[in-house]
């Protein structure tokens, strides 16, 4: 199997002045297959953002190893290669945009990497097209909507042609349209371009769209499977401070009332189909 990211017994502690160091990541063994779409869930403070920051060497392990495409993240000589392979997108689009024109912002990373200018043109045009923002190439970023800004941030990452994108709650500050725009962009990148996607989110309906769902709790991976498998355990997830998509929650309520309802209806279509079967 071709793993783009692999962690071995990854442990991370913040060092404090008093020396008392709480363990944030506690011996994680995780492999992320190239080309997959993985969602990571967990309550605030479960360690999921800390984990994500290990994927492109923003943080380095206190113990254990992180490999990106076989490269050890503590190997400084490979740092640039690692960061080219793994692009990061964060929560607040306003903190990620540096230039005053959209296309200049997208060109920022390849320019810094010393890519020849003709090639930059192609990279930028292609990246903006991929996220559906090519018609805004000459616009000022601050006049765009939140969802558009996040798509520009994604384009900026894409211009490096990474094999993997890690998104840390990219939709937390967006309205429903913005959220849908970002999610469909991410899915398209994964399906059509084969880019590996790691999506950290608090939205259960977004997590439900991934191929694989990882749940973190107290620095450990406590669930790992397809969304259908993971969301079946309604009570277990609630005990971890999480929820399930509402179509699953409805089926769970019906089961508690003695109805033999299936627990694998992740979206409105599946849920309506199952209910119509029950009621026919």
Residues of this chain that bind another protein (CB under 8 A): 42-45, 91, 145-146, 169, 172-179, 202, 204-205, 241-243, 245-247, 249-250, 253-254, 257, 259, 268-269, 271-272, 275-276, 278-280
User: How many C-beta atoms lie closer than 10 Å to residue 257's C-beta?
Assistant: 7
Q: In terms of CB distance, is 162 or 247 closer to another protein?
A: 247
Smallest gap from Cβ 18 to another protein, in A, equals 12
Which of 1, 279 has the CB closer to another protein? 279
**Tokens 């230039």 -> residue:** 99
From residue 209, alpha-carbon distances to 79, 198, 256 in Å are 31, 12, 26
Give the separation between CA 172 and CA 44, rounded to whole angstroms.
13
- Side-chain-side CA neighbours of 26 within 13 Å: the count stands at 13
Alpha helices (runs of H) in 8-167, residue ranges in sequence order: 48-54, 79-85, 102-112, 117-130, 146-158
Q: How far is the CB of 162 from another protein (least distance, A)?
A: 25
Supply the minimum distance, in Å, between the C-beta of residue 107 and another protein: 26
> Of 159 and 244, which CB lies nearer to another protein in the complex structure?
244
We find the least distance from the C-beta atom of residue 17 to another protein, in angstroms, to be: 13
| Residue closer to another protein, measured from CB, 31 or 91 | 91
Give SS3 for 172. Answer: coil
DSSP state of 46: S
Report the SS3 class of residue 37: strand
Q: Which is nearer to another protein, 77 or 95 (CB)?
A: 95
- For residue 141, the 8-state DSSP code is G
> Reduced to 3 states, what is the DSSP secondary structure of residue 61?
coil
Question: In sequence order, which ranges of the chain are alpha helices (DSSP H)?
Answer: 48-54, 79-85, 102-112, 117-130, 146-158, 176-193, 204-207, 227-231, 234-239, 246-256, 268-279
Token pair, residue 77, equals: 């000589």
Least distance from C-beta 265 to another protein, angstroms?
9
248: tokens are 């699953």
For residue 214, the SS3 value is strand
List phi, psi (to 5°) of 109. Answer: -70, -50
Of the pair 36, 201, the CB lying nearest another protein is at 201
Pick 173 or 222: Cβ nearer another protein: 173
Q: Which is nearer to another protein, 93 or 162 (CB)?
A: 93
CB of 254 to another protein, least distance (A): 6
In the complex, the smallest distance separating the C-beta of residue 124 from another protein, rounded to whole angstroms, is 26
CB of 248 to another protein, least distance (A): 10
């Amino acid at each position: 199997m071709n793993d783009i990211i692999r962690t071995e017994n990854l442990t991370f502690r913040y060092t404090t002045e008093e020396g008392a160091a709480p363990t944030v990541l506690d011996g994680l063994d995780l492999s992320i297959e190239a080309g997959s779409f993985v969602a990571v869930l967990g309550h605030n403070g479960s360690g999921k953002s800390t984990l994500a920051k290990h994927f492109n060497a923003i943080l380095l392990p206190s113990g254990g190893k992180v490999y990106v495409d076989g490269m050890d993240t503590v190997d400084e000589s490979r740092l640039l290669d690692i960061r080219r392979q793994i692009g990061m997108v964060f929560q607040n689009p306003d903190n990620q945009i540096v230039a005053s024109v959209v296309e200049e912002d997208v060109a920022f990373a390849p320019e810094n990497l010393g890519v020849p200018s003709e090639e930059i043109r192609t990279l930028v045009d292609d990246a903006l097209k991929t996220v559906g923002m090519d018609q805004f190439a000459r616009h000022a970023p601050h006049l765009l909507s939140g969802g558009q800004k996040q798509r520009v941030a994604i384009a900026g990452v894409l211009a490096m042609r990474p094999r993997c994108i890690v998104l840390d709650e990219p939709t937390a500050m967006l309205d429903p349209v913005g959220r849908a725009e970002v999610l469909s962009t991410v899915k398209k990148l994964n399906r059509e371009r084969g880019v590996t996607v790691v999506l950290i989110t608090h939205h259960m309906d977004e997590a439900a769209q991934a191929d694989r769902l990882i749940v973190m709790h107290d620095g450990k991976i406590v669930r790992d499977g397809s969304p259908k498998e993971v969301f079946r355990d309604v009570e277990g997830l609630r005990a971890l401070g999480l929820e399930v998509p509402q179509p699953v929650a409805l089926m769970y309520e019906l089961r508690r009332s003695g109805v033999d309802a299936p627990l694998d209806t992740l979206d409105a279509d599946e849920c309506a189909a199952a209910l119509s079967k029950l009621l026919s």
